Amino acid sequence: MSLQERDKKHLWHPLKQHQLNPDSMAIVKAKGCILTDEDGNEYIDAISSWYTCVFGHCNDFITNRVYQQMRQLDQVMFSDFTHEPAVKLSEELIKILPQGQNRIFFNDNGSTAVEASIKMALQYYFNKGEKRSNFIAFEDGFHGDTFGAMSVSGLSVYNGPFEDFLMDVKRIPVPNGENHDEILTQLEEYINQNDIAGFIYEPLVQGAAGMKIHDAKGLNAILKLCKSSGVLTIADEVMTGFGKTGKNFASDYIETKPDIVCLSKALTAGLLPMAITSCTEEIYEAFLSNDIAKGFFHCHTYSANPVACSAALAGIELLQTEEIQNNIQEISAAHQEFSERVKLHPKVKSTRHIGIIFALDLNTETERYGGLRDKLLKFFMDRGVFLRPLGNTLYLQVPYIISKEELSKVYKVMEEALDAL
């Protein structure tokens, strides 16, 4: 029996209506940008397996480092113990994180990184004896699938059964270069209620919303206003972190720096699940007290797993090489050229790109899952490209190590899909 058949007996996949869509493709190996299925077919991974494997799959530099670490120290509790990979990772991260970040707290996925950031902001004010229990977030933001993360996410795709249980969160539109005054007025109104602990945002690019890019100046004005009223700013860089936007972090494009940063996805170069919530020294200090209960009592069993830390360290080292930095610039330039060509296509409504992220909106409306979206997915897979449309948005987040030939093929197949529409 094929893996695809055996899969159906006991497995339950995420983001799937199994009755309508029972098949999952079985992947048996991956190397560089190429995924190979159980029938031997190859696919270019044009979204870096959900924005994680940015240095390519099974990257030898990273797997060797991880292998060495596995033989040295596999796992130890991070409550009471510490170890070289975590210490070193904190040192390396602080060097590249947005200015002001000074403390590294470990989680194990993007949602829990966000969850911890929400709890940090709430307890920061609790410890100070100030009652602030509300948050502000962007409309259409996505921050994860646990309850706190779902609450701050504006994009509530199929959250129906849970809506009654979510925190009350105030929403503002993303800045588009024209709605500046309107947003600031609304924001001021919310802030004047005096109960806002934090503002959480995906800096510059909203991933799940369809790689929507917003105005950096407008975001900066929002952050400045938050800062002036003690509203903690939480940059969810889970998707944008580690070079995706052409800089190490999207926050590097914005003058006003966040108080808290959430990281995951490319953090471990796609090798192991891990996440980080970093913060300023000022936030950390609000948890210091002779009262034990003022400490941050939030923990995940695998916090700072040494093997995951070693993958992250190897990834950060690669990210800073001239070769990878050049690749990112070259992909960005190629996207620019492709964008200018493809935006003239009659089936294309608009295009946008930043760093290695490229997206185009189709002229037609389609559902987020099902319908035309499923047909497009099949069209791409049949031609050897793994591209995952989001509603009527086609987007790319190619690995930094993609070859010119592979990237040309991805563009070509996108254009073929447009012609076939």
Ligand X SMILES: *Cc1c(COP(=O)(O)O)cnc(C)c1O
Cα gap 397→320, rounded to integer Å: 19
Tell me whether residue 4 or residue 146 sits nearer to ligand X (CB atom).
146
Q: How many CB atoms lie within 10 A of CB 268?
A: 27
Measured from the CB of residue 200, what is the shortest distance to ligand X in angstroms?
9
Minimum distance of ligand X from residue 98's CB (angstroms): 16
Can you tell me the distance from the alpha carbon of 297 to that of 368, in angstroms, rounded to the nearest whole number? 38
Residues contacting 29, CB < 8 A, separation 6+ = 35, 36, 58
The residue sitting closest to ligand X, measured at its beta carbon, is 110
Euclidean distance between CA atoms 93 and 215, whole angstroms: 26
Closest approach, Cβ 262 to ligand X, in A, equals 7
Which residue type, as a one-letter code, is found at position 114? V
Residue 114 or 169: the one with the smaller Cβ distance to ligand X is 114
DSSP symbols for 163-189: GGGSPPEEEEPPP-SS-HHHHHHHHHH
User: Which residues make beta-bridge pairs with 44?
Assistant: 34, 385
Nearest-angstrom CA–CA distance, 63 and 53: 12
Binding interface with ligand X (CB under 6 A):
109-111, 114, 142-144, 202, 207, 236, 238-239, 264
Continuous segment of H or E residues that includes residue 232: strand 232-236
Could you tell me which of 85, 84, 62, 73 has the C-alpha nearest to residue 242?
Answer: 62
Considering the complex, state which of residue 47 and residue 231 has its C-beta at the smaller distance from ligand X: 47
Provide the minimum distance between the beta carbon of 107 and ligand X in the complex, in angstroms, as a whole number: 9
Pick the closest to residue 397 from 243, 217, 258 (CA basis). 243
Of 142 and 199, which CB lies nearer to ligand X in the complex structure?
142
Backbone angles phi, psi at 392, to 5 degrees: -95, 20
Nearer to ligand X, 32 or 270 (CB): 270
> Shortest distance, CB of residue 110 to ligand X, whole angstroms?
2
Query: Between 114 and 417, whose beta carbon lies closer to ligand X?
Result: 114
Beta strand spans in 42-168 (E): 42-45, 101-107, 134-138
Rounded least distance, CB 159 to ligand X, Å: 14
Q: Which residue, 32 or 203, has its beta carbon nearer to ligand X?
A: 203
Distance of closest approach, residue 257 Cβ to ligand X, in angstroms = 18
Q: Least distance in Å: CB of 272 to ligand X? A: 12
| CA-closest candidate to residue 357, choices 81, 48, 40, 58 | 48
For residue 241, the minimal CB distance to ligand X (Å) is 9
For ligand X, the closer CB: 142 or 296: 142
Residue closest to 104 by CA, chosen among 275, 268, 320: 275
Decide whether 142 or 338 has the Cβ nearer to ligand X: 142
